[in-house]
Amino acid sequence: MNRTVVITGASAGIGRASARLFAEQGDRVALLARGHAGLDAAAAEVEELGGRALAVPTDVADHRQVEAAADAAQEAFGPIDVWVNVAFTSVFAPFAEIAPEDFDRVTAVSYLGFVNGTRAALSRMRPRDHGTVVQVGSALGSRSIPLQSAYCGAKHAVNGFTEAVRTELMHDHSAVRITLVQMPAVNTPQFSWVRSRLPRDPQPVPPIYQPEVAARAVAHAAAHPQRKQYYVGASTVATILGNKVAAGLLDRYLARTGYDSQQTADVADDGRPDNLWHPVDDEAGTDHGAHGGFDDRSAPRSYQTLAARHPLPAAAVLVGAAAAVGEAVRRHRR
C-alpha cells in the first residue's frame, strides 16, 4: 500500500535521496525545505520516479510553519504514515568563534526542528495509533568532534529527546514507532553552503558515503521501525563503540587530527554564501541536488549497513567464515 511520507530537508542531500527512494516505491511525498529551486526540482524527480509530490516551503525552526506543512500534507495526500526528520544546518568553527545568534540558529534548526517535526507527526499519528517517525542522526551524536560544537550538541540532544519519546510511546502501548538512523560522513551539498570560519574549505571526515547509502537505510528504518536505532557504515559503528571503550584516547586523537581532517587543501572564499539564515537554493538555477563535491571519494554502498538490514544471513556468513578459518587452522596444525 502506498504511503504518505513527509521529509524535512528534502531539497538536498540525504532528504533528497530519500525522497527519490520513497517515490520509486510509489509513495506520496511531502517535501519540506526552505529553498524553492531545490524543492521544485525534488518534486519533479518524485513525480518522474512514480510518486506524487507536494512541495511545501518550510523553516523547521518555526513550529507554526511545521504544523501548517503537516496540515497541507494531510489535506493533499491523507493521513501521514511516515515522517522523516532530516533538516539541519551548521557552523564550522571553533566554539569561541561562533556568534551566539549563529549557535542559537543551528540549535533551532538541527535540534528544535526535529522536536517540531516529531510533535507535528505524533499529534496526527497517535489518535490513529499508526505511523513511524524516522530521525536522521549522526555518529557525532555519540562522539563529538572539534569545529562542530553546535551541530554535535544538537545531534546529542536529538538522541536524548528521541529516547524519552520512545519510552513514553512504549508506556502508552502505542503502535506508533520512532527510530534513529545514525549516519557517517555523507557526500551532501552541506560542505559547499555551510557557514564556515575555517581558513580552508570544509570537508567530510573520510570514509565518505554517497547519500543513496543513507537513503536506503532511512527507507529500511521506515519499513522496520521496531529497532531503537540503525548504524550506517562501519565508521559509525567504530566511532560509537570506540567512544564507549576509549573516550579519552579519542579525545587526544581528535584534538591532534580533527582540525586538518575536516578541511581540504583549498583556501576558503570569505565571500561565499551560506545557508544558515537564508537558503542558497532559492532562485532558479540554484538547485544543488543530492550530491556534494566529493563523488570521486565517496562509497556507493556499505556492506556493514547491508548486513545490519539482513542480520540472519550476515550471521550465517560470519559463522561459516569462522568455521572455515577454524578448520584451516586445524589442518595447518596437523
Active site positions, annotated = 151
State the first-to-last Cα distance of the chain, in angstroms, to the nearest integer. Answer: 59
- C-alpha 42/C-alpha 14 separation (Å) is 12
Beta bridge partner(s), residue 329: none
- Please give the Cα distance from 188 to 210 (Å, whole number): 8
Give the Cα separation of 31 and 6 in Å (integer): 6
DSSP secondary-structure letter at 327? H
DSSP state of 208: E
Q: Report the relative pairing of strands 132-138 and 177-183 from DSSP bridges.
A: parallel
Measuring CA to CA, which residue among 268, 261, 232, 277 is closest to residue 89?
Answer: 277
Q: Are 124 and 67 in contact (CB under 8 A)?
A: no
The residue written with cell numbers 543513496 in the block is 212
**CA–CA distance from 7 to each of 20, 78, 96, 286 (Å)?**
11, 15, 33, 20
Cα(278)–Cα(291) distance, rounded to whole angstroms?
Answer: 20
Pairing of β 28-33 and β 4-8: parallel
Strand intervals (E) in 160-291: 177-183, 185-186, 195-196, 200-202, 208-209, 229-231, 263-267
